[in-house]
Amino acid sequence: MTPSFAAPDARAIPIRLVARAELDAWLDRQDEPVRDWVAANDFTGRAGQILRLPAPDMSVAKVLFGWGEARDHQRGRFLFAKAAAALGPGTYALDGDLTDNAREEAALGWLLAGYRFTRYAGSAPDAPMLKVPKGVDAKRLEAIAQGECLTRDLINTPAADMGPEELEHAVRDLARAHGASVAVTQGEDLLEANLPLIHTVGRAATRAPRLIDLRWGDTGPSLTLVGKGVCFDTGGLNLKPGASMGIMKKDMGGAATVLGLASMIMALRLPIRLRVLIPAVENSVAGNAFRPGDILTARNGLTVEINNTDAEGRLVLADALALADEDPADLTVCMATLTGAARVAVGPDLSPFYTDDDALALALMQAGKRVRDPLWRMPFHRPYETMIEPGIADLDNAPSGGFAGSVTAALFLDRFAQRAPRFVHFDIYGWCPSAAPARPKGGVGMGARAILDALPGVLGL
């Protein structure tokens, strides 16, 4: 789907936002039939409530939408998306006094509410259209929505149809759409190219592992995005239980998210030099699978003791980050569905991130708050470095004890980004466990909109 707004000259039915506290004052300005209709239908302005006001010919003259109370907006995002989900085909216009940020959130939520994953069943219904609200940058929001829909589609596609090769095809399609270049190293060539960890993790699968390298832009500051592309994770020889394997098609959510972000950046023609690195593998079980107790050597020469083959994401990211570190960008961003510990810490809705750069962290937090893409800073707690140093090798991929699992994973990755002047790692979930406004159950982008919003200030654009 290509999310878009209605034509500027389209005739539209106004949707009037009415908060609980404002309802009486608004009713005082209406004629008696409207007041009677509102009372008869028990419209109180509660969050998400919808009431259609009839015209004399019984068509819809106006829609009232309950804007609720302040706490309704503190406890949830994209409230206006409920209108898009509830109203039938037609063209509508937002009518209400909102701040610039709230107006943008409402418009974006409307676009995202139209998302449907219909590859295998059903079809997308005719969605209601919204005229561009005053002061909203339609091109920007359409690019953001398109990038988010790309992320959702990639995550939602089952691994049978979204393996390393299909993920490569998706990158190539994106590159063709925006004039980017793509280079791919796969199979045994990974060893020749000194990408041994990507090869080791993916060698047991029937579909060849690969490193996908997209480049776009030739002027401006540089940005490298590194995304975990584990297209399916059985856990390897440390096999996951069935209940934990059920949604492992989403283990390439980091790759899907950086591709969605790259789509936004290229569509908006930001003046930067963009690089996207995706190690794409399946973590499978076979006679040549890597084993607990193995000691592997990464691209940058660090040795890694394998204590859990289910901690494979940090291994493939290590090679990709080491490659990026050989030509460090002004900003390097790593995104991965990496640890269950992060979900225990902050749940499925927050995107935890790690950086030693206080200014970068502040910019990201402020951007996340501004665009309602919530983030939470986590610590690179250096005293925990000893937990990832097993003695028999430089690093341990799965420290025992179970403490601080997300922190130790981030510290592990940091060892492969030592030359990057500004580095941030996101440990995201990439999945919406239950439907919410503008976010159906399933794959979802996390952190990309906040990063996009922060980029101008962070990179000096």
Known catalytic membership, residue 240: yes
Q: Where are the beta strands (DSSP E) in 77-221?
A: 91-95, 129-130, 181-186, 210-216
Give the pTM.
0.97
Q: What is the pLDDT of residue 1?
A: 66
Q: Taking the CB of residue 248, how many other CB atoms lie within 10 A of it?
A: 19
Query: Which residues lie below 8 Å from residue 332, measured CB to CB, with a gap of 6+?
Result: 223, 224, 226, 321, 324, 325, 417, 420, 422, 423, 424
Domains (range + CATH), the chain: 13-136 (3.40.220.10), 141-459 (3.40.630.10)
Distance CA 237, CA 289 (A): 7
Backbone region of residue 215 per phi and psi (left: phi > 0; alpha: psi in -120 to 50; beta: other values): beta
> What is the pLDDT at residue 384?
97
> For position 399, what pLDDT does the model report?
94
266-311 pLDDT tens trace:
999 999 999 999 999 999 999 999 999 999 999 999 999 999 999 9
Catalytic residue among 215, 240, 273, 377: 240
Mean pLDDT calculated for residue range 37-45:
97
**Which tokens belong to 89?**
């085909």
User: Which position among 314, 343, 439, 449 bears the catalytic label?
Assistant: 314
Predicted local confidence at residue 11, as pLDDT: 94
Per-residue pLDDT band at 127 (split at 50, 70, 90): confident
The CB-side HSE value for 83 (13 A sphere, CA atoms) comes to 33
Q: Is 249 a catalytic residue?
A: no
Q: What does the pLDDT average to over 29-36?
A: 95
As a whole number of angstroms, the distance between CA 401 and CA 245 comes to: 23
Give the Cα separation of 332 and 171 in Å (integer): 19
pLDDT number for residue 441? 97
